[in-house]
Structures are given as structure tokens and as C-alpha cells.
Structure 1
Amino acid sequence: MFTGTAVFDLLLPGDSRSLKAKRSYVRPIVAALRRLEVSTAEVGALDRYGRSEIGVAVVAATAAHVGEVLDSCERVVAARPEVELLSVRRRLFGADD
């Protein structure tokens, strides 16, 4: 069994100067990621306007499958034209970790 995580650091548009506006950008991304059957949530920069960190976790039988799912998640986030993907931090955990 393997577990993989990814944290996406996002720069939101300049008009996200309220938490309501920030949510309007983050919620559709989280919903799109959940359609890939992963666990996801906003995990960082909760009190910063214009920035967000979205975390994703996946469990699979093989490391290759974990990598494929995280690649799909990264493509979904990178394809969003309204946000800029600044960085992605990934980790893979095996049964021995």
C-alpha cells in the first residue's frame, strides 16, 4: 500500500480581496479534484487573500498508480486559467515508512 500527497500553492487573481471571493476560486478547484476520487482540502494560507494552498491525498496499491493520480490532479489545477500554480510539493509514503 502506498500513500501520496501533493500540496498546490496557488496565486489567486487580484480581485480576491475577501474570503468570499477567495472561496469562489478555491471551491470549484476542490470540487474538480474530488471528482478524481482523492481527498482534498484547502490546507494553507487560510487567512491570506490572494493565496491558497490545496492539499490532496491518495492511497493506492502501487506507487505508479499514486503517481498517475497525482499527475492527473496537477493537470486539473494547472488547467485552471483563473489561478496561477506557483509550486507543487509531492511526497510518497510506502508501507515501510
Structure 2
Amino acid sequence: MYTGTAVFDVLLPGDSRSLKEKRSYVRPIIAALRRFEVSVAEVGALDLHARAEIGVAVVAAEPRHVGEVLDSCERAVAGRPELELLSVRRRLHGDDE
């Protein structure tokens, strides 16, 4: 069994001046990522209006599949025109750890 995680640090549009407006950007991203059958949540920068950290976790039998799913998630976030993907932190954990 292998688990993989990714944390996407994103910059939201400048018109995001409240946490309510921030949620209006973050909620559709989370919904889109759930299509990949991953666990996903906003995990950081919770009090900042123009930034968000979105965490994704996946479990699979093969490390290759974990990587493919995380790659798909990264492409989905990077392809959203309303935000800028600043960084991605990824980790892979296996049975031997």
C-alpha cells in the first residue's frame, strides 16, 4: 500500500477581499479535485484572503498510480485560469516506512 500527498499553494484573484469571497474560489477547486477520487481539504493559509493551501491525499496499491493521480490533480489546479499555482509539495509513503 502506498499513500501520496500534495499541498498546493495558490494565489487567488486580487478581488478576494473576504473569507466569503475566498470560499467562492476554493469550493469549486475542491469539488473538481474530488473527481479524482482523492481526499481533499483546505489545509493552510486559512486566515488569508488571497492565498489558500489545498491538500490532497490518495491511497493505492502501486506507487505509479499514486503519482499519476497526483499529477492529474496538479494539472487540474494549474489549469485554472482564475488562480496562480505558487508551489506544490508532494510526498510518497510506502509500506517500508
Task: State the Cα distance separating 1:96 from its structure 2 match.
Answer: 1.2
Uncovered stretches (5+) of structure 2, i.e. residues with no partner: none
How far apart, in 2, do the equivalents of 1:75 and 1:85 lie? 10
Counterpart amino acid of residue 42 in structure 2: E
Instruction: Give the TM-score of the pair, scaled to structure 2.
Output: 0.99
How far apart, in 2, do the equivalents of 1:37 and 1:59 lie? 10
Q: How does 1:3-82 map to 2 (within 5 A)?
A: 3-82=3-82
Instruction: Give the TM-score of the pair, scaled to structure 1.
Output: 0.99
Superposed CA offset, 1:73-92 (max 9, x none): 00100010000000000000
Task: State the Cα distance separating 1:36 from its structure 2 match.
Answer: 0.7
Give the 3-state SS of the residue equivalent to 1:86 in structure 2: strand
How far apart, in 2, do the equivalents of 1:17 and 1:53 lie? 17
Task: State the Cα distance separating 1:49 from its structure 2 match.
Answer: 1.1
Uncovered stretches (5+) of structure 1, i.e. residues with no partner: none
How far apart, in 2, do the equivalents of 1:60 and 1:8 lie? 20
* CA-based RMSD: 0.4
